[in-house]
Chain A
Amino acid sequence: ETGVTQTPRHLVMGMTNKKSLKCEQHLGHNAMYWYKQSAKKPLELMFVYSLEERVENNSVPSRFSPECPNSSHLFLHLHTLQPEDSALYLCASSLRAGTGAKSPLHFGNGTRLTVT
């Protein structure tokens, strides 16, 4: 299997639920990202991991908790979400800065999250 794989593709959860989004990359990249895409808004960077260390956290509420156990896997743990958190969540990977300045982001297919 190649590329960036995200599961699940669709998720419906209540505000009191706890769920996790999973991302796996098979491209040999060493940086991984979570983006949120809402309608009519630019992509919002949530978290960046470089060599499994979190290097960016763009003021994301604590109800979103990332985890990067190794350079190939990235999780986003969700708990007590709000309806406005409904969006497409995109995982991406690249070579980290300094080793691949030309390296583009490679995205997964995304998880369409609906919070009821």
Chain B
Amino acid sequence: AQKITQTQPGMFVQEKEAVTLDCTYDTSDPSYGLFWYKQPSSGEMIFLIYQGSYDQQNATEGRYSLNFQKARKSANLVISASQLGDSAMYFCAMRYTGNQFYFGTGTSLTVIP
């Protein structure tokens, strides 16, 4: 069964606006970690932000923040003040037991000048 769901195959945002990329997950394990990655056209996967299941506050890293709603099992990425360089694929991932990371299918973000 798919454990990470990203329902938005493609998103567009105007430069300098904020955008939210959706991610829902499915696990019965109480301890897990949620990660967001950015993949530009060059192919490299770049780690953006982490949220632990026991963290009380939403994670933030510069212009990136994670809207973590544990009861709804969602971990949406919010990018504020979008820049042209933010155009890329974005992947949500989860790690719970062991060394496995599960990835969603990704969302393609295009920033419009």
Using a Cβ cutoff of 8 Å, how many contacts connect chains A and B?
62
Shortest Cβ distance from B99 into chain A, in angstroms? 5
**Smallest Cβ-Cβ distance to B36: which chain A residue:** A104
- The interface on chain A, measured as residues whose beta carbon lies within 8 A of the other chain's beta carbons, has a size of 27
A31 touches B99 (CB 8 A): yes
Q: Is B91's beta carbon under 8 Å from chain A?
A: yes
Give bound CA distance, A106 to B47, whole Å. Answer: 7
Interface size class of B (residues with CB under 8 A): 20 to 34
Give bound CA distance, A49 to B44, whole Å. Answer: 21
Which B residues touch A108, using CB under 8 A? 44
* Given A42-B105, A43-B103, A101-B95, A110 and B43 contact (CB-CB distance below 8 Å): yes
Which B residues touch A90, using CB under 8 A? 43, 45
Q: A94-116 interface mask toward B, CB cutoff 8 Å, 1 = contact, 0 = none?
A: 10110001101111111010000
A56 touches B95 (CB 8 A): no
Q: Is B58's beta carbon under 8 Å from chain A?
A: no
Please indicate which of the listed interface residues A105, A106, A112 has the most CB atoms of chain B within 10 Å of its own CB.
Answer: A105
Interface residues of A (CB under 8 A from B): 31, 33, 40-43, 45, 48, 50, 55-56, 88, 90, 92, 94, 96-97, 101-102, 104-110, 112
5 residue pairs of the A-B complex, CB under 8 angstroms, read A88-B43, A96-B99, A105-B35, A105-B37, A109-B43
